[in-house]
Amino acid sequence: MTTTEVSTSSTTEAQGSTTEAQGSTTEAQGSTAEAQGSTNGSEIGRDRRRKEDARLITGRTRWTDNITLPGMLHMAMVRSPFAHARITRIDTTDAKAATNVVAVFTGADLGEEQGALPNAWPITPDQKAPAHPPMPADRVTFAGEIVAVVVARSAAEARDAAELVDVDYEELPAALDLKEAAAADADNGVLAHPDLGTNKSALWVFDSAEAGTGGDVEEAIAKARTDGIVLEREFRQQRLIPAFMEPRSVVVDPTGEQITMWSATQIPHILRFLLAAVLGVPESKVRVIAPDVGGGFGGKLQTTPEEFLAMVIARRLGKPVKYTETRSESLMAGHHGRDQWQRITLSATKEGEVTGLKVDLLADLGSYVSLIGGGVPVLGAFMFNAIYKFPAYHFQVQTVLTNKTWTDAYRGAGRPEATFAIERIMDELAAELGEDPIKVRERNWIKHEEFPFTTVAGLEYDSGNYEAATAQALERFGYDELRAEQRRRRESGDPVQLGIGVSTFTEMCGLAPSRVLGSLDYGAGGWEHASVRMLPTGKVEVVTGASAHGQGHETAFSQIVADRLGVAFEDVEVLHGDTAISHKGLDTYGSRSLVVGGEALVKAVDKVVEKAKPIAAHLMEASIDDIEFAGGRFSVRGTDQGMAIGEVALAAFAAHNLPDGVEPSLDSDATYDPVNFNYPHGTHLCAVEIDTETGAVKMRKYTCVDDIGNVINPLIVSGQVHGGLVQGIAQALWEEAVYDDAGTLVSGSFVDYLVPTAADTISFDVGHTTTPALTNTLGTKGVGEAGTIASTPAVVNAVVDALRPYGVTDIQMPCTPERVWKAIQGGGTEATEGAAAPHFSEETGMSGTADRTEGAGQ
Amino acid sequence: MTRIKLTVDGASVADDVEPRMLLVHYLREKLGKTGTVVGCDTSNCGACTVHLDGRSVKSCNVLAVQADGAEVTTIEGLAQDGELHPVQAAFRECHGLQCGFCTPGMIMQSVDLLAENPSPSEEEIRLGLEGNLCRCTGYHNIVRAVQHAATGGEVTA
C-alpha cells in the first residue's frame, strides 16, 4: 500500500523560495527507485537510503567496546546481591593477588574523590534525594549496586578476580512494594533510606483551577456523582527495562592534563558538563565521545556510576581503562522505566461529555533520584488530557524511593503512562455509555478548526487534525468489517474472540523551550546547536549537538542541508557525538533532534547564505540588493550572471578578492531555542484474537495513521514508527521487570525479560496525515516516541474489548496468557503467579518461570 | 593454552587460546573482528551470529577450540571484491537496521535462512529469525529486507 501526500511548507523569507515537501510513506509495496545525484529542492521528503548503513552492514562500526588502547586496563564490578544491606567488611586480598590484577577499589578507597551522581531535575524545592555515590562505602540500596571494582590487564582476568572479592553484608529490610513504601514512615514499615525518615521524595501537583487554565475538578466530580457518570479506575504501569541492544561501555584515556572518555551514551555533552561539575575537573580538559551507539530509548540518557568510576580510576592509575557491562548487569543496574500506580477519576455528563479528570500517581524512583527520574511523571502531567477538551483537571504525583534499580526516562518518558491511562478510561467511558469508542472520543476531542488550542494543562497545541487521521485509520483498518466479524464471533460463541482497540494519542515533544524547563526547575535549557562549515572543495560539514544512536541523523540532516543550501546530498557530511568537534549541544532524547536540532541547522544554513551574499555580489560586481539565492546559486537579478555557493566558498577560502571588512569564511553557527513543544498525534487501531480456552493473545492487524507534520525521510520515519510500535506492544503483552520478595531482579537476563522476537510480531499498516507544525520552519514534529506512546493502550483496549462479554473491564499489563485466562474465569487481575519464582526449584517443578511466550530463541 | 588453526573470512589464522575462550571473544580480541558483537550472556540475542563451516552459529555458544580446523565467516567476510552481499544490500535498501548493533548477526542469520529456504514465506522468515533480537526496527523492515533479497528486489520497504 502506498500513500503520498504533498504539502507545501512555509515560504522562507531569506530566499523567497518555496520548498515543496513531499511526505511520502511507503509500505510493503512502495517504490524503491533511488535516483543518484542532487536535485535542488527535492531532498526533503525523499526516501534516501542511510549514510550510516555502509559501516553498520559491513561490521566496520565504531562501538565503544571495540576501542583498544595501548596499555588499556579492564574493569569488572562486584555488585551487591542484596536489595538493602550494610557493608560490614570487604576483603580484597585474594583479588589483588590474582593474575594480572592491577588494583582493586572499594567505596572507602575512593571516598569523596568519586563525587555523587547528579539529579538535574529536583521537581519540588523540598524534594528528598539521598546522596548517590557511584560506589557506596557503607550501605547498598538495590541489588546490583557496585561495591568494588577490580582492574586487570584483561577483561576475563578482571571478571575472574571479581569473584574473589569477599564482601560481608548485614542484610537490612528492603522497601520493595511501591504502595507499601509510599505508606511507610519512620515508625511503620520499611524505609529505603532510613536516614531520610520517609520514602516519599516529592509531591508535585498541577490543578487547573489554581493555574487558571480550567475549572475545579472536585466540583465537576461532585456534580457528576449526582447527575452524570463518574469512573474511577486504578491502572498499573509495570516496570520496564529499556533493553537497548548494545550493552553500555566506557573507555577513559587520561593523557597528562587532558582526559578523553568514549561512552555508549545518548548525552555526551551533558555527561561532559556533569563530569566536570561533579568531579571538579575543568570542563575544557574533558572530551567526551559517543561513537556509534547501539540504541538508547532513554536508557543511555544517564550519567552512570560506571562512567564516573572509570573516570576516577583511570585518573588514579594514569592509564586507559575500559568497562563493558554484561547483559545481566545492564538489565539489573541500568535504569528502568515506567513503574507507576495510576488512580484516575473521570467525570462526564450522562451524554458522555467529559467534565473533569483527576489523576493521582505513585511513581517508583527506585533507590535514587536519577538524572531526570523525578521529572518523568511530570512530563506526563501535561498529557493526561491528551487530545480532549476537558474543562477541569487535577494532577498529582508522589514520587517514592524503594530498594530497587533507579528509574528514569524510557521511550516516551511520562507520556506513554499518561496516554495509557486516558485512552484506557475513554474506552471505559464508551463501555459505560454503550457506544463506540471512536464516538466518545469524537465528542470530546479538539476539532481541527479549533487550533491553536490552549489545553486545560496550559499547553498551546499549534496544529492538528484528529478527524482526518481517524478517518484514514478507520478506512485502512477496515473497522466496520472487523466490528461485524466481532459480532459474528460473539453471537456464535466462537472460542476465539476478536477485540478491537483504539488509541488516539498526542504527545508533547521536541524538548524543550528553555524557559518552560526553567519554570519546572529543570537544571538545563532545551536549545540545540548546529554549525555549517563550507569546505574549499565545495563539500559541506555539518556539526550538530544532537547525538544519534540509531536515528539516522547523518542522512536526514544531510537532506535538510542539501535542499536548503542547494548542494548534493552526497556532499554533506554530518558530524556529531564528540565534544571536541561538536562543542555545544544538549543531545538526543524526547524526540527533539529534528524539531530542535534540525531547526538550528536551518538557521545556521541561512546564516551561511547571508554571509556568502556580499562576497558573491562583490565577485559579480553587482549590488547586494540584486543578489538572489536559489538552488545553490547566487544570481544577479535580471541577468544570466551567477555563481554556485561552492565557488563562493572557494573564493572565501582563497580570500584574494573579498569586499573590505568581510571575514574570509562562510562558516556559521546557530543555537535554536524552541518557542513551543510540538504535538504529533495519531489514531491507532489494533485487532487481536484471543483464544478464550488458553488466554493466548494473537495480534491480527495493526493500523496507525500518525500526523507528524512534514516528513524529511519517509523511510526513516516508517522505521521509527515500526520500532516504537513494537516497544509499546511489548509493554502491553510481554515485558515486565519482576522482583522477587528479596528484591532480586528475576527478569535479569533475556531468558526472562521478554524482548519480543520477529516471531512474536506482525507487519504493520502505517499511514500519515500531514498538518505541518507551526512552531518550526520545516513544519516537522517528533516521531521517535509516537509508536510507543500510542500502541500500548490500543493493544490493551483490544484485549479488554474482546473480553467485555465475559465481564472483564481491565487486565493488568503485561497481558500474559495466564492473566487473560484468569480474567476470563473471573479470577481478577493480580500479578502473574510464578513470575518471580526461582528458575529451578522444587516449588516450580524445576520448570522455571511460567509466562514465557513463544520466541525463546533457537 | 591450546593451539588452534582455522580460516576466518578467507584468511588462515593460528593462535594459542585458553580452552575456555569463546569463539566470539577470539574473533574480537585476537583477530580484531569487531564487526561481530556481544549483546547478551545467555545466547538469546544472536548479535554474535557467524557462519561455522557454512551454517549459522551463535559464536558466544561455541568455544574457540571447537572452531579448530573450521571455516568461519563473519559479517566482515560477507562482501566479496568490494561488492555487498545481496542480503547486506537488502538491509540497506529496505531500512532493515537502525542502530545497527543486531545487524551483523541478523544479516548472517538471514543469509543462512535463505540458503536453506530460498523462497521463505513471511512466517518462515519470522520463525527463522526468532533467535535474533532487534530493539529498533520492530522487525517489519528486517522481514522486508529478507523478502527483498529472496525475490531479487521485488519486495521493498
pLDDT score for A837: 59
d(CA B26, CA A574): 34
Going A371 to A376 to A377 to A383, the CA torsion angle's sign is: positive
What residue ranges define each of the domains in chain A, with the CATH number in brackets?
A: 67-172+246-294+300-333 (3.90.1170.50), 462-509+678-858 (3.30.365.10), 527-672 (3.30.365.10)
pLDDT score for A839: 53
pLDDT score for B155: 85
Q: Which DSSP symbol is given to A671?
A: E
Contacts of A856 in chain B (CB under 8 A): 44
CB contact under 8 A, A723 and B35: no
| Mutant choice from B40, B129, B134 vs A, greatest count of A C-beta within 10 A | B40
pLDDT score for B154: 85
Chain A residue whose CA is closest to B154: A29
Degrees to nearest 5, angle at CA A454 with A342 and A381? 20
Residue whose C-alpha cell is 561501555: A249
pLDDT above 60: residue A146: yes
Contacts of B28 in chain A (CB under 8 A): 66
Could you tell me which of A541, A552, A718 has the C-alpha nearest to residue A53? A552
Chain B residue whose CA is closest to A729: B138
- Judge contact between A815 and A439, C-beta under 8 A: no
Chain A residue whose CA is closest to B140: A763
The rounded mean pLDDT for chain A is: 92
pLDDT score for A14: 34
Contacts of A713 in chain B (CB under 8 A): none
Measured in angstroms, the CA of B121 and the nearest CA of chain A are apart by 12
d(CA B72, CA B74): 7
Q: How confident is the model over A811-837, as a mean pLDDT?
A: 81
What is the model's pTM? 0.93
pLDDT score for A23: 35
- Judge contact between A124 and A203, C-beta under 8 A: yes
d(CA A463, CA A484): 34
Digit-coded pLDDT (tens) for A669-708: 999 999 999 999 999 999 999 999 999 999 999 999 999 9
d(CA A791, CA A686): 8
- Ranges A24-33, A191-200, A447-456, A847-856: which has the least confidence: A24-33
pLDDT score for A826: 87
Q: How confident is the model over A622-641, as a mean pLDDT?
A: 96
Coil/strand/helix, residue A406: coil
Amino acid letter, A757: T
pLDDT score for A842: 57
Cell of A98: 590474582
Burial class of residue A639 in the structure, from the number of CB atoms within 10 Å of its CB (0-12 exposed, 13-18 middle, 19+ buried): exposed
Q: Measuring CA to CA, how many Å separate B52 from each of A60, A599, A640, B2, B41?
A: 21, 48, 64, 19, 20
| Mutant choice from A27, A31, A32, A58 vs B, greatest count of B C-beta within 10 A | A58
Digit-coded pLDDT (tens) for B62-79: 999 999 999 999 999 999
Contacts of A758 in chain B (CB under 8 A): 125-127, 129-130, 132, 134, 139, 142-143
pLDDT score for A41: 65
pLDDT score for A844: 52
Measured in angstroms, the CA of B122 and the nearest CA of chain A are apart by 9
Q: Which DSSP symbol is given to A12?
A: P
Residue whose C-alpha cell is 558483537: B37
What residue ranges define each of the domains in chain B, with the CATH number in brackets?
A: 2-77 (3.10.20.30), 86-150 (1.10.150.120)
Cα atoms in the 13 Å half-sphere on the side-chain side of A245: 34
Digit-coded pLDDT (tens) for B22-55: 999 999 999 999 999 999 999 999 999 999 999 9
Window 112-151 of B, Cβ < 8 Å to A:
122, 125-127, 129-144
- Judge contact between B46 and B109, C-beta under 8 A: yes
Confidence band of A37 (pLDDT split at 50, 70, 90): very low
CB contact under 8 A, A32 and B93: yes
CB contact under 8 A, A295 and B143: no
Q: Is the peptide bond before A242 cis (omega within 30 degrees of 0)?
A: no
